[in-house]
Amino acid sequence: MQSAKAGFDRAIDWLNVAAHVLAAATVVRRSGTNALVKFDGQRDNDKVYTVFVGRGEDDESRFREDSDDLEELVTRAFPLSTEQSLDDAVPLSGMLQRLHALASEGFVVCIYMAWLADAVAYSVDIMGELGVFNPIHVEGQALLEIMQQSVQQFDQ
């Protein structure tokens, strides 16, 4: 894998990012859609972050952008809601930092959320060089839990 590269060197307020990633569940639930936050350590440019929100039932939810500013992307895509709990923001911020560190080493990390059967389902994928690294895929109903499981699998 590559060493840390440009695009991953911007200062990030991880607690703010975590709050907006938690808000993504509200966006997904309200719109009946899906969302993706991607840290791409294999990109050849500085736009190493992708945020995507699919077109939902309201037909106006579509958002997709690549950028070198993760905080700005999640803030625009996933506005904070008064109905959301921020109880998991602190532990989630730590997991996001850990996944970000993996991406800065050349891995691709995808955090996916989808509205399925009246609930938000989550998955985390960690991908690396084909033939060298076996991809990790964890899915479930609790974002923090599956992020922890994906990192545990990576560390084994």
Cα separation, 142 vs 145, whole angstroms: 5
State the pTM of this model: 0.90
Whether 1 is in a domain gets the answer no
Whether 4 is in a domain gets the answer no
Using CB atoms within 10 Å of the CB of residue 29, give its burial: 0 to 12 exposed, 13 to 18 middle, 19+ buried: middle
Split into its structural domains, the chain has a count of 1
Whether 8 is in a domain gets the answer no
* Residues 4-46 pLDDT 10s: 566 787 889 999 999 999 999 888 988 889 999 999 999 988 9
When pLDDT is cut at 50, 70 and 90, the band that residue 61 belongs to is: low
Whether 3 is in a domain gets the answer no
> Tokens standing for 27?
């966006």
Evaluate if residue 68 carries a pLDDT over 60.
Answer: yes
* Residues 73-126 pLDDT 10s: 999 999 997 666 778 899 999 999 999 999 999 999 999 999 998 899 999 999
Whether 53 is in a domain gets the answer yes
> Tokens standing for 2?
């590559």
Domain that holds residue 124: 14-155
Give kind and range of the element (H or E) at residue 26.
helix 14-31
Evaluate if residue 2 carries a pLDDT over 80.
Answer: no
Query: Mean pLDDT over residues 56-61, rounded?
Result: 64
Cα separation, 11 vs 146, whole angstroms: 25
pLDDT at 128: 92
